Each structure stands twice: as C-alpha cells, then as structure tokens.
C-alpha cells in the first residue's frame, strides 16, 4: 500500500472561501486548517478593523491565502469578495459559512421580549447571509463543475435551549435555508450541508448567558461523557466539503458527542 505522503492531497488544486474566522478558537479556523492541510487554497473574510489583524495573523500563515473585508449585511461587499476570488482563483469549490450575530440585549432577555429590530438583525446576519453568499458563489462553483457549501448551526435550532433565545430561531431559519438551497442547487452539482456542533468555547459562544454551565451539563449528559473537540468538528467539515461527502446534501450533521439523542 502506498504511504499517505506519496498520495495526492484530497483537496489539491481546490479553492474555498471561509466566512467567520474571529480567532484561533473559531470553528471556522479549525475547519480552514483541515481544508488547507489537504491542499485547498483559501480566501478569508473579516468584518471591520477589530477582526482584520486577527484574521491576517492566522490566514497569513497559509500559502496563497487571500484576505478580504466583508460585511455580510451588504450585497455589494459580498459580491466584491467573489469578484476578488474570481480574479485570483478563477473558480471556487467550497464555501464555509460560520457567521452568526444577535444583539446582546435580545440574547439575554426572555424570547418573548425579543425586539423587532433584534429579530431582523439576527436573521439577516445569521440566516439570510447564507442565501446571499450562496447566490454570489454559484457562478464560480459552476465554473468549477460543482462545489460544496457548509454552514454551522446548533441544537438550539430545533430545541428550546435556555439562553439561546432569538439565535435559536435564526438558526432554525438557517437550517431550513440549507434544505431549500440544497434543493435549488443540486442540479448544478452544488451541495449544501450544515454541521450542528456541540458547545465549544468560542468568542461567539461567550455571548450566551450561562454558557459555562452549558458546557458542564453537555459533558455530563452526552453519551461520550465529554465535550466535542474543535478538531472533531473540523474533520466532519472536511468530510462534507471533500469528495468523501459527494452523495450528501441538505443534511444537518450532529457533531456533539451524541448529546442530541439524549432525552433525560
């Protein structure tokens, strides 16, 4: 049998765009590293100067990476990202969407008190952005003969999780969008899936009230009696994005040490 070192990398010659890297603990960064290790050339987006330095420090260490500004509430900025990717890469095989936001005051209140503005913001950034990004990416994926779009979600999309509130409703919208996009784009050989990861200590997660308690509860109740590791989520992302997942679309894959199957 040939050694792994002698084999062609799984994603050699492929290109992708990563939305949502904040720091080295980001799920998006873990997935990006997994894709890059298998040969994929990547573009990264950031929003605002506050995140620019962090993304540049991380992505700058990957050969041939492209770093671009993007506010996902702006169609013009999304289109500018893919115009730059088209100019630099010429085609595109993968998009990772790890973008979510809700105003803190709407996360910390009871869901019934969610403001109209907060509801709109959470859905625009956390769910509609997947639709807008997919639309902008499609012409480049068609050039490549197909591609894979991957979103990140959480159990709070299908169950009422204390403290998740309006974000859970936005994630439910995101998961429905995954299914409808998969149905639309399947004939174009573009697959759309999501990973529902267990709780991980990321920058975004720290905005959830009671998150530390959530981590402890998850580790106690999950069948594997522990929390999921970033590397495990990244490996699942690699599987879904790569040819190994070629027959899978419209799915939400749980990577949570089995927590989602538990009743009491």
164 is catalytic: yes
- Which residues have CB under 8 Å from 1's CB, separation 6+? none
Positions of E strands within 20-160 = 41-46, 66-69, 94-97, 147-153
> Could you tell me which residues come within 8 angstroms of residue 73 by beta carbon, excluding any fewer than 6 positions away?
124, 125, 129
As a whole number of angstroms, the longest Cα–Cα distance in the chain is: 61
Q: In whole angstroms, give the CA distance from residue 254 to residue 240.
A: 12
- Measure the N-to-C terminal CA separation of the chain; round to a whole number of Å: 47
Can you tell me the distance from the alpha carbon of 19 to that of 215, in angstroms, rounded to the nearest whole number? Answer: 25
Backbone angles phi, psi at 68, to 5 degrees: -135, 145
Of 128, 154, 180, 259, which is the active-site residue?
154
Let me know if 154 is a catalytic residue. Answer: yes
DSSP 8-state assignment for residue 226: S
| Helices 165-185 + 129-144 axis angle, to 10 | 30
Q: Which of 46, 128, 164, 180 is catalytic?
A: 164
Tokens coding 185: 């784009």
User: E strands of 155-222, at which residues?
Assistant: 190-197
**Catalytic residue list:** 154, 164
């Amino acid at each position: 049998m040939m050694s792994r070192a002698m084999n062609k990398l799984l994603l050699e010659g492929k290109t992708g765009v990563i939305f949502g890297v904040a720091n080295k603990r980001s799920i998006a960064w873990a997935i990006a590293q997994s894709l890059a290790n298998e040969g994929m050339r990547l573009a990264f987006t950031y929003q605002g100067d506050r995140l620019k330095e962090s993304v540049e420090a991380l992505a700058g260490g990957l050969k041939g990476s492209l770093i671009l500004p993007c506010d996902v509430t702006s169609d013009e900025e999304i289109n500018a990202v893919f115009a730059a990717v088209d100019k630099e890469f010429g085609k595109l095989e993968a998009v990772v969407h790890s973008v979510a936001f809700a105003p803190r005051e709407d996360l910390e209140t009871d869901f019934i008190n969610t403001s109209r503005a907060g509801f709109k913001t959470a859905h625009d950034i956390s769910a509609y952005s997947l639709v807008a990004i997919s639309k902008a990416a499609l012409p480049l994926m068609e050039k490549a003969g197909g591609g894979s779009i991957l979103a990140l979600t959480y159990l709070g999309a299908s169950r009422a999780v204390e403290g998740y509130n309006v974000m859970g409703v936005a994630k439910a919208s995101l998961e429905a969008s995954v299914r409808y996009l998969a149905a639309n784009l399947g004939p174009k050989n573009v697959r759309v899936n999501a990973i529902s990861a267990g709780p991980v200590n990321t920058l975004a997660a720290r905005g959830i009230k009671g998150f530390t308690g959530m981590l402890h509860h998850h580790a106690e109740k999950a069948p594997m009696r522990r929390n999921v590791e970033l590397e495990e989520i990244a490996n699942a992302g690699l599987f879904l994005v790569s040819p190994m997942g070629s027959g899978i679309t419209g799915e939400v894959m749980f990577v949570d040490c089995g927590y989602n199957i538990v009743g009491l």
